[in-house]
Chains A and B, each alone.
Chain A
Amino acid sequence: MAPDSGTAAPAAGAGTSAEPVIRVEDVAVRFGARTIFKGVTFEVRRGEIFVILGGSGCGKSTLLKTLIGLVPMAAGRAWLLGEELAATKGADRRALLRRLGVMWQSGALFGSMTLAQNVELPLEEHTDLPRPAREALARSKLGLVGLGDAAGRLPAEISGGMAKRAGIARAMALDPPLLFLDEPSAGLDPITSAGLDALIKDIARDTGATFVVVTHELQSILAIGDRCIMLDKDAQGMIAEGDPRRLREDSDNRTVRAFFRREAI
């Protein structure tokens, strides 16, 4: 197996390249005649926690799925780690996908496997590590997210918060340089949610990985987000981009202000 420059952290090109980790140019997504969003353009820099935010139904999760190649673009182009996912095929696509980690909104853990087996699956599929190594690595990932004692449990036997943490552990199995998290703190109690935010910050700091987080949880956005874009249903696209704390204070857009101040429009 060829050494993968993206898997070893944090020396793997950390901060040395001016090339953004993600570049999105004028992307639009349509379902039939309905436009979800259009003209979405932004860049994500290496090592930052980038938040995609917005109200319900604005297309946040759809944008994330578009970036990882699950939803086709109606227009525009997007580059991940310098490569255009839509244009890659076969082994190149596999190699690129290997360098992405995704945590799904509901965890999307495989119900017939224990948490440890869930984390081991990408290791088994993408590396030549012998079984004891995979087991130890899976344990370390679960230990990292605080699920060390639940490694042998099935997804049906754990709570929603634990499923999200296990989802993060699985997403991190291959030490990807780019992680996508879909609503990591939605539906969790404030303590668990804050714990998850702290975990994301710690991982970002320690590994130098770049995070793209989709969320509408205000506290989470302000706690972890380095930069953000905000999507809006009525505008069918982006209405703001920048540091969430500054947007809260300075934005002259009515929807952005209302969002950050929790006001009804």
Chain B
Amino acid sequence: MTAEVAVSDEAGGKVLRASGRLDVAAAARAWTATIRAAADAPVVVLDLSDLEALDSAGAVLLLTAAPDAKVEGAAPQIAPVLERTRAALAAAPPAPPVSRRFLPITAVGRATVQRLRGALARVAFLGESVVIVLRTLRHPRLLRWADLMRHLDEVGTRAFGLTALLGFLIGVILAFQSAIPLRRFGAEIFVPNLVGIALLRELGPLLAGVVLAGRTGSAFAAELGTMTVNEEVDALRVMGIDPASMLVLPRLIAATLAMPVLAMLMSLAGLAGMTVIMAGFGFPWAAVSVQLQQWLTLQDLAGGLFKAGCFGAVIAGIGCRAGLTAGRGPRAVGDAATAAVVGGIVAIVVMDGIFAVLFYRLGI
């Protein structure tokens, strides 16, 4: 028999009658009408004499519509379900509504304090890293060489294919795009100069940095974040092993050493791509080579590689910090990886701007 729930006005007050099998499906059907019918005045009697079965959803419906009513005619299998649900609801009062007054101001204040704390923690992490690096320079045996080699392989050699492919394609694209305006002036021969300088000074280090942030910074954050969530980092601390020297240092050094190589590879692959396009335009390899030799200086290359090393250190540092400061719960690792990639890319672009001003001032 399907369930029926009806509210009627009688001499003594409102009466709620339920019959049939009041299960979750029946409760869902009857909910809105029953609650509305019981809203204006309290139900005084809950007549359950025709009720055959009741589940907890049905009980919640009856108790929401008629919280204080006198129960009449409940069968032996019905009464315990109703009473258990009544006790459970009493043990779980609805949460008080959150006061929304001054909430925007509170939010701004909280965010400001949080940012300041974050900035302070970054400075502290930077200081800690510098101390560890200096200490390792004095005592090289502190460095875990096996870890360093593993990270060099992961950060460097395993990224060669991707970096070379991207570099080649960027070279091709730059050559094509710059050839279009230069052709108007019959100056296509200067395409190698433009692409060469752009790659060696700027795009090589910057794009290698983006590759490193996406590929390695996120991996560092995820790996260290998982270790943090699993309390492995705490275990290290309790063993008297500094997580910064064991986990951060090898990664920091590996990224700093690998980045100039990746930037160099990116630039060389880009130049190769550009040369292919120039050959397509009818310029022999020798002409491209002469242009590059005449216009590119060792300073361009050295400046680019120096920047690349700095980018590597910053990306690794941001990735490791994001991992070590990961919160708890399943979202923490994902948040750490996102913070590492976003933070890393923003940081290298900002640093690149600073380097541009610095190199300009120094006349490099």
Contact = CB atoms under 8 A, between A and B. Distances in A.
A, B bound: yes
Interface of A: 1-4, 7-12, 14, 111-112, 123, 127-130, 132-133, 135-137, 139-144, 146-149, 151-152, 154-156, 172, 174-175, 206-207
Interface of B: 2, 21-29, 31-32, 35, 52-61, 64, 77, 80-81, 84-85, 87-95, 327-331
A127 B77 CA distance: 24
Nearest to B84: A206
Contact of B23 (A4, A139, A151, A207): A4
Given A127-B57, A156-B329, A10 B23 contact: no
Given A10-B81, A112-B331, A4 B57 contact: no
A143 B85 CA distance: 9
A139 B27 contact: no
B24 A144 contact: no
Contact of A151 (B21, B53, B85, B95): B95
Contact of B28 (A10, A129, A136): A129
20 contacts: A3-B25, A4-B24, A4-B25, A7-B25, A9-B81, A10-B77, A11-B53, A12-B53, A111-B330, A112-B329, A129-B24, A130-B31, A133-B28, A140-B88, A140-B92, A141-B88, A142-B88, A144-B91, A147-B92, A149-B92
Contact of B92 (A128, A142, A206): A142
Contact of A8 (B21, B89, B330): B21
Contacts of A129: 24, 27-28, 31, 57
Contacts of A3: 2, 21, 23, 25-26
Contacts of B94: 135, 139
A1 to B, nearest CB: 4
A133 B5 CA distance: 15
Contacts, number: 126
Contacts of A151: 92, 95
A107 to B, nearest CB: 12
A9 B88 contact: no
Chain A contact residues: helix, strand, loop or mixed: loop
A123 B60 CA distance: 13
Contacts of A154: 329
A111 B329 contact: yes
A178 B123 CA distance: 56
Given A10-B77, A10-B81, A144-B84, A137 B57 contact: yes
A130 B91 contact: no
A175 B64 CA distance: 18
Across the A-B interface, give the 4 residue pairs with the lowest CB-CB distance, nearest first. A148-B92, A143-B92, A143-B88, A156-B329
B328 A136 contact: no
Nearest to B56: A175
A133 B55 CA distance: 13
A132 to B, nearest CB: 8
Nearest to A114: B95
B58 A8 contact: yes
Contact of B89 (A11, A140, A172, A175): A140
Contacts of B329: 111-112, 154-156
A1 B331 contact: no
Contacts of A139: 88-89, 92, 94
A132 B60 CA distance: 10
A243 B256 CA distance: 66
A132 B35 CA distance: 10
Contacts of A142: 88, 92
B328 A156 contact: yes
Contacts of A7: 23-25, 55
Given A12-B53, A112-B330, A175-B55, 11 more contacts: A7-B55, A111-B330, A133-B27, A133-B31, A133-B61, A133-B64, A139-B94, A140-B85, A140-B92, A143-B90, A149-B92
Contact of B64 (A14, A136, A148): A136
Contact of B57 (A14, A143, A146, A175): A175
B55 A143 contact: no
A135 B56 CA distance: 13
Question: Which one of B21, B29, B32 has the greatest number of beta carbons of chain A within 10 Å?
Answer: B21
A172 B55 CA distance: 11
A137 B60 contact: yes
Nearest to B328: A156
Contacts of B93: 148
B53 to A, nearest CB: 4
Contacts of B95: 151-152
Nearest to B83: A206
Given A152-B95, A206-B84, A141 B56 contact: yes
Contacts of B52: 11
A146 B91 contact: yes
A8 B81 CA distance: 10
Nearest to A11: B53
Nearest to B327: A156
Contact of A148 (B29, B32, B91): B91
A1 B28 contact: yes
Contacts of A9: 53, 55, 81
B214 to A, nearest CB: 24
Contact of A140 (B25, B35, B60, B331): B60
Contact of B24 (A136, A155, A174, A207): A174
